[in-house]
C-alpha cells in the first residue's frame, strides 16, 4: 500500500532520504507548473521549486502532521512566489510555450526538438491553432491578480478543496469563494473567443 504524503514526510523526518526522493518525483511537475504560472518565467519557476523542496527538507525535523502535506508545501511555494513578484526579482518575461519547450530539449533528455512536434501532427495548421489557443489561455491566466491566479491554479490544476486553498492563501473559505468567482468571471470574458471558436469548429465538424 502506498504511503501517504504525511507518512513519507514523517519518514523523511526519521532520516529516510528515499522518502524525500518520492515526494520530489511526485510534486516536481505540479510545483514547477504552479510557480511558472505564478512568476511567468520558466527558469525562475525551477529555481523557486528547488527552493521549496529545500525548505521542505530543512523543515523535516520540525514537521508536524497538523495539516495536509500539499497545503503546507504549496503555502511555502505561494509565499516564495508572491515575495519574488513583490521584490521584482523575476521580471515578467514573455516566455512562449514553444521557447520553453525548446529550452528543455536543449537541456538534455528530450531528443525531439519542439519544432518537430508539428511534423508529427496530421496538420501543421491545427498545431498552430493549438499553440495559439494555449498562448491566449496562458496570457489570460497570467493576467489575473496574484491571489486570484494562485486560487485558480490550486483549484483547477491541483484540484484542492476550498479549505486547503484557503489554508494555502491564508484567507477564509468565504473570501476564497469570492476570489474564485472574480477570477472565473474574468476568465469567462477573456476566454469567450476561444470558447466560441471551439464551438464553431465542433459545429463544422459533422459536415466535413
Partner 1 sequence: MNCGHTEKNLVAYLDGKLHPAERRQLEAHLATCAACRERAEGFRSAWNVLDELPVLPPSPAFDARVRARVEQEPRRAWFWAWIVPSPRMAFAATALLIASIWLSSFQPGRIPTAHPSAGAANQNAEAEFGMIKDLPVLENYDVLTSFDALSDLPVQQAAQPQPLNQM
Q: Which helix (H) or strand (E) holds 129?
A: helix 124-142
In the set 92, 93, 174, 201, which binds partner 1 (CB under 8 A)?
174
Residue 28 Cβ, how far from partner 1 at the closest point, in Å?
Answer: 5
- Say whether residue 17 binds partner 1 (CB under 8 A): yes
Map the footprint of partner 1 across residues 24-83, applying CB under 8 A. 24-25, 28-29, 32-33, 36, 42, 45-46, 49-50, 53-54, 57-58, 60-62
Q: Which residues contact 32 (CB under 8 A, 6 or more apart)?
A: 45, 46, 49
- Say whether residue 178 binds partner 1 (CB under 8 A): yes
Identify which of residues 21 and 119 has a Cβ nearer to partner 1 in the complex: 21
- Say whether residue 205 binds partner 1 (CB under 8 A): no
Residue 44 Cβ, how far from partner 1 at the closest point, in Å?
Answer: 12
Contact call for residues 115 and 102 (beta carbons, < 8 A): yes
- The per-residue b/e assignment along 84-107, b for 16 or more CB within 10 angstroms, e otherwise, is bbeeeebeeeebeeeebbeeebee
Residue 80 CA: distances (Å) to CA of 30, 118, 190: 15, 36, 28
Identify which of residues 1 and 108 has a Cβ nearer to partner 1 in the complex: 108
Amino acid at each position: 500500500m502506498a504511503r501517504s504524503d504525511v507518512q513519507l514526510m514523517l519518514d523523511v523526518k526519521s532520516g529516510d532520504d528515499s522518502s524525500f526522493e518520492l515526494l520530489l518525483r511526485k510534486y516536481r511537475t505540479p510545483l514547477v507548473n504552479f510557480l511558472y504560472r505564478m512568476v511567468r518565467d520558466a527558469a525562475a519557476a525551477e529555481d523557486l521549486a528547488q527552493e521549496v523542496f529545500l525548505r521542505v527538507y530543512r523543515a523535516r525535523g520540525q514537521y508536524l502532521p497538523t495539516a495536509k502535506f500539499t497545503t503546507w508545501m504549496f503555502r511555502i511555494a505561494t509565499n516564495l512566489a508572491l515575495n519574488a513578484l513583490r521584490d521584482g526579482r523575476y521580471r515578467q518575461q514573455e516566455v512562449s510555450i514553444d521557447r520553453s519547450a525548446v529550452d528543455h530539449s536543449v537541456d538534455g533528455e528530450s531528443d525531439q526538438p519542439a519544432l518537430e512536434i508539428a511534423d508529427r501532427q496530421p496538420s501543421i495548421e491545427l498545431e498552430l491553432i493549438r499553440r495559439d489557443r494555449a498562448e491566449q489561455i496562458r496570457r489570460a491566466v497570467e493576467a489575473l491578480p496574484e491571489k486570484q491566479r494562485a486560487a485558480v491554479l490550486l483549484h483547477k490544476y491541483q484540484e484542492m478543496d476550498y479549505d486547503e486553498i484557503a489554508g494555502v492563501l491564508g484567507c477564509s473559505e468565504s473570501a476564497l469563494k469570492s476570489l474564485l468567482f472574480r477570477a472565473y468571471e474574468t476568465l469567462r470574458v477573456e476566454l469567450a473567443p476561444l470558447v466560441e471558436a471551439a464551438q464553431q469548429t465542433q459545429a463544422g465538424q459533422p459536415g466535413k
